[in-house]
Amino acid sequence: MAKKWIYALEELGQEHLELVGRKCANLGEMTKLGMRVPPGFAISVDGFEKYMQETGLGKRIAAYFASLGEDLKKSVQKQMDASRAAKELIAATPLPAAMADQIAKNYEALCARYGTPDMPVAVRSSGAVSMPGQMETYLHVKGAADVARRVLEVWESTFNTRAIAFRLEKGMPVDQAPIGVAVIRMVNAKSAGVVLTVIPTSGDLDHVVIEGNWGLGESVVSGDIDPDNFIIDKATLAIEKKVAKKTKWVVASAKGTVKGDVPLELQDRPCLEDDEIRELVRIALSVEKHFGVPQDMEWVVDQDLPYPENVIWVQARPAKFTPKRKEAEADYIVDQMTRLFRR
């Protein structure tokens, strides 16, 4: 029996991180928690390895990197050249017909589920090892052929220069980095952004911070604009608002996504209603409680759905933050006392 390499999100959970990557495993876990997550499917790391093996590309890329030897570690230019060469090899090697057909069948089943032919989807990388910003994401992808093309381009991005440099720095094999791919239904975003259940710069665990903008969340996570900022007290749910003048947004178009001008009537308006803010906080705190650690989550508000069904989640991961100074000082004192008694 052929080895399975495509999974519905509902089949996945935290225990599948190595199989489908962190993003897909988290989406599956969020689905199990009853969170509103866009439906879709995951292409596992086995899919990447199947492609590399069946086309013979894995051996060719391994031989190419082996020929570069230790010089690759010493030169950024050589890393850039290697990135370009590896990506060109993948671009010139189409998916085996049977693999392309299986991706098409899963995509078409997703379209049929919503009665929307050529439904727009997001095609996102999902690495088992966290490498933020080093792999590609493609939004508003339509049609089975374009979905398959974008899957290949996500796989290409495992050989981005930054990804190669990361693997060299970490002592990981540079010629292979199998990743999962998430294919999920695009949300018709009214607004989008991030929520953290800790203030990352201070380690304040008593408040939640939400940042957002009109349109898709790419404008927020990329840092291209000053987003709206909301600080919420976990105990009282009191909201402190800092509404930015939002002049640019990222929106869907017939050719994918485009960056454009926010309409004047929206530029000074908060991108979230108070009820939407509190729903984001309610869910985020329940996820924090489930995982036992502060969370860094991505949200989208769907303009086609009523509240609260319009609050959709597309990512959840442990938050990175600086511990509170008192805690840091306490750790320092304990460490110094331990060293003293060991003398």
pLDDT digits (tens, 9 = 90+) for 266-300: 999 999 999 999 999 999 999 999 999 999 999 99
Which residue has better confidence, 3 or 187? 187
Same domain, residue pair 168 and 285:
no
pLDDT averaged over every residue in the chain: 90
236 and 158: one domain?
no
Cite the DSSP H helix spans in the chain.
17-20, 22-32, 45-54, 57-68, 71-74, 76-91, 97-114, 144-156, 161-170, 218-221, 264-267, 274-291, 325-342
For residue 151, tell me if it sits in a domain.
yes
pLDDT recorded at residue 340: 43
Picking from 61-70, 150-159, 172-181, 247-256, which range would have the lowest pLDDT averaged per residue?
Answer: 247-256
User: Where does the pLDDT of residue 62 fall: very low under 50, low under 70, confident under 90, or very high at 90 and above?
Assistant: very high
What pLDDT, on the 0 to 100 scale, is given for residue 1? 54
Tell me the per-residue pLDDT of 175-192, one tens digit each, with 9 for 90 and over: 888 899 999 999 999 999
More confident residue, 337 or 63: 63
Domain boundary among 185, 208, 243: 185
* Percentages of the chain per state (helix, strand, coil), in multiples of 5: 45, 25, 30
Which residues have CB under 8 Å from 184's CB, separation 6+? 9, 27, 37, 38, 39, 40, 121, 122, 124, 314
Q: How do residues 75-98 score in pLDDT, each as one tens digit?
A: 899 999 999 999 999 999 999 999
Residues 177 and 276 in one domain: no
pLDDT reported for residue 337: 47
Q: How many domains does the chain have?
A: 2
Tokens 């489930």 locate to: 290
Any idea which residue has 């093309």 for tokens? 149
User: How large is the average pLDDT for residues 202-227?
Assistant: 91
What does residue 108 show for φ and ψ, rounded to 5 degrees? -65, -35
Looking at 141, 156, 185, the residue that finishes a domain is 185
Percent of the chain past pLDDT 70, that is, above it, reads 92
Q: Cβ distance 225 to 246 under 8 Å? A: yes
CATH of the domain at 292: 3.30.470.20
d(CA 58, CA 254): 35
Q: 217 lies in which domain range?
A: 189-324
> Is residue 89 situated within a structural domain?
yes
176 and 46, same structural domain? Answer: yes
Whether 169 and 199 share a structural domain: no
Same domain as 44, residue 176: yes
Q: What is the mean pLDDT of residues 208-213?
A: 98
pLDDT at 158: 93
Q: Which pTM was predicted?
A: 0.85
Using 50, 70 and 90 to split pLDDT, how confident is the model at 343? very low
pLDDT number for residue 222: 75
* Lowest mean pLDDT segment, chosen from 46-60, 173-187, 230-244, 324-338: 324-338
Model confidence at 130, pLDDT cuts 50, 70, 90, reads low
pLDDT of residue 132: 56
181 and 201 belong to one structural domain: no
